[in-house]
Amino acid sequence: MLPVGSGVPQGSVLGPLLFLVFINDIVDNCRVKIRLYADDCALYSLIHTVEDQVKLNTEIEKLMKWCNSWQMCVNYQKSVAMSITNKKCPLVYNYTADGNILNRVTEYKYLGLHICSNFHWDRHIDYISNNAMMKLHFLRRSLRYSSYDTKILAYKSLIQPILDYGNIIWDPYTNVNIHKLDRIQNKAVRFIFKKYGPTSVSELVAKAGFKRTSERNRISRLLFFFKIVNGRINSNTGEYLKFSSGYSTRQRHKHTVVPFQPNNNTFKYSFFRALPKNGMSLTAKLLKQTVSRHLKNLYLTSVFFFVKHFMLFEVLCSVLTAVLYC
């Protein structure tokens, strides 16, 4: 046993657990939505009036008092405020934390995703495209004389996770962004098979056992939808997903998602809007399965790394709800 004067020693096995226990009551009596992940904390709320802004700022100051009481240091350089809206003249408010005015930004990287104030994903897609291309150049230098299987394994381990992380949220709908992601895979298969000539890239993709970006994103949405229907995700999705209440027919079943009427592209091409047409490809019998592996076996012919962060999904769901009617 080592005596510890204060705090939690870094690098210890119980360090992360003790830290989570220590900050567990930070959410008590909070009147706005708050999300915690490790040492990151996000407060957010729907803003319609100045009173809503004052309420949010009051909760921020209350959070600062909690930090001061428990001797938790806040990095004000990394603490920012951002308004996500489509309004041309949004309400502007100088949010403060312990008397320090928070820097207002139009873009912020949260849990690996670049979120912009207009809720567009062009910046994030540019980022992951550049990151994946850098990794591909690294593989070209390192695995020039390796076998096909080694190259494919390296691609699936190092590059494909970058392209798949959070794809149910930022799934692109413009041809420009779709081309940016497909271009990486096209270059990868030519490198894998050393076919840089007029050989059809579609044949190379099929030979490698890869799927197009749009197809992988569709599968990710269906997997997530499968877990929502079977209660494997603890979230109140009732305000985002409406299911059919009529009789089951050839065209629908009780898990058929009723489409919303979009009033902007942010909503039109969101996860919820894409489900009505994608969800019909899942039969009612399949949705009753209790193990998602059954679903994967039906749709996947190659192994891919599917990463989803539910807390991020829930935060963006709430943000999307605010944007819909702006």
pLDDT band at 142 (very low <50, low <70, confident <90, very high): very high
| Coil, strand or helix at 44 | strand
The pLDDT of residue 311 = 47
In this predicted structure, the answer to whether residue 291 has a pLDDT above a threshold of 50 is: no
120-158 as b/e, with b when 16 or more CB fall inside 10 Å? bbbebbebbbeebbebbeebeeebeeeeeeebbebbbee
- The pLDDT of 177-199, averaged and rounded, is 91
DSSP codes of every residue in 245-303: -S---SS--TTPBPPP--SSHHHHTSHHHHHHHHHTTS-HHHHT-S-HHHHHHHH-SS-
Closest CA to 159 of 135, 141, 190, 127: 135
With 0.75 as the threshold, say if the pTM is over it. Answer: yes
Domain limits, the chain? 15-105, 121-326
Return d(Cα 243, Cα 315) in angstroms, integer: 22
> Hey, what amino acid is at 322?
A
Residue entry with tokens 């992380």: 165
- The Cβ of residue 76 has, within 10 Å, a number of other Cβ atoms equal to 14
Nearest to 29 by CA among 57, 62, 74, 54: 62
- CA angle, corner 125, sides to 162 and 257, nearest 5? 90
Res 11: pLDDT: 75
Rounded Cα–Cα distance for residues 143 and 109 (Å) = 32
Token pair belonging to 35: 């999300």
Judged against a pLDDT cut of 90, whether residue 298 lies above it is answered with no
At residue 322 the predicted structure's pLDDT band, cuts being 50, 70 and 90, is very low
pLDDT at residue 156, as a whole number: 93
Residue 252 confidence (pLDDT): 60
Cα 94 to Cα 309: distance, rounded to the nearest angstrom: 30
CA distance 11 to 179: 43
Q: What is the pLDDT of residue 78?
A: 87
Reduced to 3 DSSP states, what percent helix, strand and coil does the chain have, rounded to the nearest 5?
50, 10, 45
**Residue 84 contacts residue 124 (beta carbons within 8 Å):** no
Residue labelled with tokens 């904390």: 41
pLDDT of 46 above 80? yes
